[in-house]
Amino acid sequence: MISAVAMKRLSAATLACSALVFGGSVLAGNSRASSGAQVSYICSAVDKQFIATASTNMTQLGYWSDALVHNDAEPGVVIQQARSESGQISATDPEDRTLHATRDLMASMFLEYSKAIATTVKGRDAGHHMQNAWRLANASHKLLSGAKSGLAAQGCDVSPLLPS
């Protein structure tokens, strides 16, 4: 069984990872926008579906992480939920290229989080997987932050995917 301290760190790391992934997307979006190339955004029904799905799955990840920390859920359940959430995000097909890239980053982030829990359950160091999850969360955040105003102008609000 995972110790309470390790689970609290894992949950805190997961939430921080999400913030960093989304923060990373800002930097990538800003560097692309400042390169002089004109960036165009689209906001179709499938783009809005992706945003809704990703937002719901981020909420679920927070719930399951908290449940794990408070011993209200078994690690195996949380691992399965994180993998399921990754699959749900992967099943979307946003047309906007920024959202498409974000989809891939977020799906990978959920998988890395599930690997971190599985590694912790086995009594091994999950630091590598958590670092990957943080890196992916950061990259996603940077992309979304850089595209926020452009997507909003087209009718897509990505603020539910950007933690305050």
Q: What is the pLDDT of residues 117-152, one digit of tens each?
A: 999 999 999 999 999 999 999 999 999 999 999 999
Give 4's contacts (C-beta < 8 A, 6+ positions apart). Answer: 69, 71
Give the residue extent of every domain in the chain: 4-33+41-161
Euclidean distance between CA atoms 6 and 26, whole angstroms: 30
pLDDT above 70 (res 6): no
pTM of the model: 0.76
Euclidean distance between CA atoms 46 and 69, whole angstroms: 34
